[in-house]
Amino acid sequence: MTIRDLILQQLANGLILGSFYSLVALGYSMVYGIIKLLNFAHGDIYMIGAFVGFAALSVISGFLGAGWLGILPAMACSMLAVGILGIVIQRIAYRPLLSAPRLSILISALGVSILLYNTVMAITDGEYMAFNVGLGWKGVSMGSVYITYTQIVLVSATAVLMIALYIFVHKTMYGKAMRAISIDHDACRLMGIDVNKVIALTFCIGSALAAAAGVMAGVYYGSIHFFMGFIIGLKAFTAAVIGGIGSIPGAMVGGIVLGMLEAFGTQLPFVGSEWKDVFAFAILILLLVFRPTGILGRTEIERM
C-alpha cells in the first residue's frame, strides 16, 4: 500500500470514527451550553439507542428486510424513543437539581449512568448481541483502498443530521431560545420563554442524536453490548472539549478531529491500534494545558 492509499484509507476510517464521536459530542455540548452540566450518562443513552434500534430492526426486518429500508425506520424509532427517554431523565433526575450545587447534579448524572447500564446488563445477561443487517460488503475501490457503501451512507447520514441540527438551532424560534438560555436563564424567563420546556427539548434532541449514533455503530461493528457507551462517552466528551464544549460547531469539528487523530496516530511508529485510547486522552490532556477553551470555544467571564 502506497502512502497515498494509506492516507485515503485512514481518512475514511477517521471520518467513520469522527461521525460517531460528533453525534454523541453534540449532546454533551448542547446540555453543557444550556445548564452547564457534564452529562456523563450520555454515553449510556447512546448504548440504549443501539439496543432500541436492535429491537426495532428485529420487528421491522420481518416486513422490510434487514437492509437500509429496514434500518432507517429502526433508527427513526430509536431516535424517537430515546429522545422521550432523555426528557424523562431530565425531568426526574436533573430538573429538581438545577438550583442545587453543581456537584449534586453531577452525582445525579453518574447515578443515571449506573442505572442505565446495569438495567441493560440485567436484561441481556451481559452478553453481546449480534446486530445482523443485510448490507453486504459492496463498495468502491481506489487503488488499494476499499470503501464500502455502508461507510458512505453512515457518513452521509451523520452529515445530514448535523446540518439539520445547525439549521434548527440558527433558523427556528426554539433554536434561538436555546441560544438565549445558554446566555442568561433569568432574562429569558422575563422575556416569556419557557426555560424548562426548552431545556427538555435540548435533552430530547441530544439523546436522539446519540441514539442515531448507537444504531449506526451497531450497523457498522455488527454487535452491541451493555458497556459500549462507556468508552465512546469519554471519547465524545474529549471531542466536545477539543472543539470547545458548549459550542455545537465545536462538537462537530472536535469529533472529526479526534477521529482523524486516532486513525492517523495509530500509523505512527511504535503506536498500534491498541494505543489509540492512550493517544486520544493524551491529546485531551495537552489541549487542556495549552488551549483549555478548545478549537472553537470562547473564554467566558462569570459575573458575581
Phi/psi class of residue 222: alpha, beta or left (left: φ > 0; alpha: ψ in -120 to 50)? Answer: left
- Residues 229 and 46 sit within 8 Å (Cβ to Cβ): yes
- The better pLDDT of the pair 39, 301 is held by 39
3-state secondary structure of 224: strand
| Angle, helices 228-243/195-221, rounded to nearest 10 degrees | 120
Q: How many residues does the chain have?
A: 304
Q: Tens digits of per-residue pLDDT, 224-238?
A: 999 999 889 988 988
What is the rounded average pLDDT for all residues in the chain? 87
pTM, 2 dp: 0.91
For residue range 169-212, what is the model confidence (pLDDT) as tens digits?
Answer: 999 999 999 999 988 888 999 989 999 999 999 999 999 999 99
Q: In angstroms, rounded to a whole number, what is the distance separating the alpha carbons of residues 84 and 82? A: 5
Q: In this model, does residue 75 exceed pLDDT 90?
A: yes
φ/ψ of 129, rounded to 5, equals -110, 130
The distance from CA 52 to its chain's CA centroid, rounded to whole angstroms, is 16
The C-alpha atoms of residue 37 and residue 109 are separated, in whole angstroms, by 9
Handedness of CA 187, 185, 204, 252 (dihedral sign): positive
- Nearest-CA neighbor of 253 among 242, 262, 264, 266? 242
How do residues 262-295 score in pLDDT, each as one tens digit? 888 777 666 666 677 777 778 778 887 888 888 8
How many contiguous H segments (helices) and E segments (strands) does the chain have?
A: 11, 4
Q: What is the pLDDT of residues 78-92, one digit of tens each?
A: 999 999 999 999 999
**What is the spatial distance between Cα 240 and Cα 211, in angstroms, rounded to a whole number?**
17
